[in-house]
Amino acid sequence: MPDIEETRERYGRTLARLAGQDRRVVALDCDLGRSTKSHDLSEVDPRRFIDLGIAEQDMISTAAGLASCGKIVFVNSFAVFLTGRAFDQIRQQISLPKANVKLCGSSAGITLGADGATHQAINDVTLMRCLPNMTVIVPADGNQTEKAVVAAYLHPGPVYLRLSRYHLANFLPEDCAFEVGRAAVLREGNRVALAATGPVTAHALEAADLLQAEGVSTGVYNFHTLKPFDINCAREIAGRYETVFSIEEHNIVGGLGSALAETLCELFEPAAKPLLQRIGIRDAYGESGTAEELVHKHRLDAEGITGTVLEVLEKRRQYRR
């Protein structure tokens, strides 16, 4: 596998492989197949790649019809259109009846870059997380994407897969463990925990190195599944660290930060809860720029994460005096 890989690329290859093994697998797209990579499936069987034109609502309901006949349907578009434009169709015809449809939201987040605010999904996880019966997965790199796509395929019901075109080196092992609903412990520490989701998890790992060099013992946890949320891992983090940071390329309203906050504050144990600080897009829209520039601007790169952590630790010191 290539070192540098966008999660959407591994998604397309994995989808094509699954379609080769299972005739029930069908992909639908809305005129973005070569970008979302769903078009890869057409090399296996062109009849099972269906382009519905620029009509997201039609695509979602069509997928529900296919699923009602036993097909395993992967629907594709940019995350922003898929979850926003067709939200009511997803609500009524996918999540309510528990249709076996995999919603694959591509080019999610600000790392879409140049296309700007209209095309950058920053609240897709919020929208999908509030739907009953929905599983929400955000793969961090190519290797985890392959595991996630297979897990979504095997899961009998609706799944939202958030995919990215962030150009990044794979940083998880090819044989990384993956279980839906179970966060991955990437690194253990005892003072600061970085809970990250999606490709920016790579920057959390880099930040942990920088923090370690500053003498701050830092753990890194990858929450690839945002729903169902891993309560056990949240409890473990709460018992072990005094400060926790959620890190996501998404609005801090409704994403990983919210899921973690909701979970932590409802825990009976430990009685003394860690402080949670959310790092992400701070309730603002994106803009045009390169992925790297935007990640830097929103302080989601290693430098930004490290800076935020050190600032928060300093503030805590002041409050304790």
Partner 1 sequence: MFERLELKAWEARLELIRMFSYGKAHHFGGSLSCVELLTCLYFYKMRYSALLRDDPDRDRFILSKGHSVPAQYVILSMLGVLPEGELRTIKQLGSRLQGHPDVNKTPGIEAPTGSLGQGLSFANGVALAARLDSRQFRIFVLLGDGELQEGQVWEAAMTSAHHRLTNVCVLVDSNRFQSQGSVGEIKGVQPLAGKWAAFGWEVLEVDGHDVAQICGALDRVDDRSGRPLAIIASTVKGKGVSFMENSFKYHNRALSEQEYRQAEQEILEQISSRKHGHAGH
H-type alpha helices, the chain: 7-21, 33-36, 56-68, 79-85, 87-89, 124-129, 142-154, 201-213, 231-240, 256-265, 291-297, 302-320
Stretch of 4-12, 49-57, 276-284, 289-297 contacting partner 1, by CB under 8 A: 49-57
CB nearer to partner 1: pick between 134 and 204: 134
CB nearer to partner 1: pick between 56 and 146: 56
The answer to whether 87 contacts partner 1 (rule: CB under 8 A) is no
Q: What is d(CA 167, CA 161) in angstroms, rounded to the nearest whole number?
A: 18
Among 77, 93, 107, 123, binds partner 1 (CB under 8 A): 93
Q: How would you classify residue 102: left for phi > 0, otherwise alpha for psi between -120 and 50, otherwise beta?
A: beta
Task: Give catalytic residues, as residue numbers.
Answer: 56
CB nearer to partner 1: pick between 15 and 207: 15
Stretch of 5-13, 45-53, 254-262, 265-273 contacting partner 1, by CB under 8 A: 45-53
Q: Which residue has the tokens 């996630």?
A: 148
Q: What is d(CA 286, CA 295) in angstroms, rounded to the nearest whole number?
A: 10
Q: Site mask, partner 1, residues 6-35, x = CB under 8 A? A: --------------------x---------
Which residue, 25, 35, 294, is CA-closest to 163? 35
φ/ψ of 143, rounded to 5, equals: -65, -40
Give the shortest CB-123-to-partner 1 separation in angstroms. Answer: 21
Q: Site mask, partner 1, residues 192-231, x = CB under 8 A? A: ----------------------------------------
CB 209 within 8 A of CB 227: no
Close Cβ partners of 175 (under 8 Å, ≥ 6 residues apart): none
The answer to whether 88 contacts partner 1 (rule: CB under 8 A) is yes
CB nearer to partner 1: pick between 52 and 202: 52
Where does this chain bind partner 1 (CB under 8 A)? Answer: 26, 47-48, 50, 52-53, 55, 57-71, 73, 88-89, 91-93, 96-98
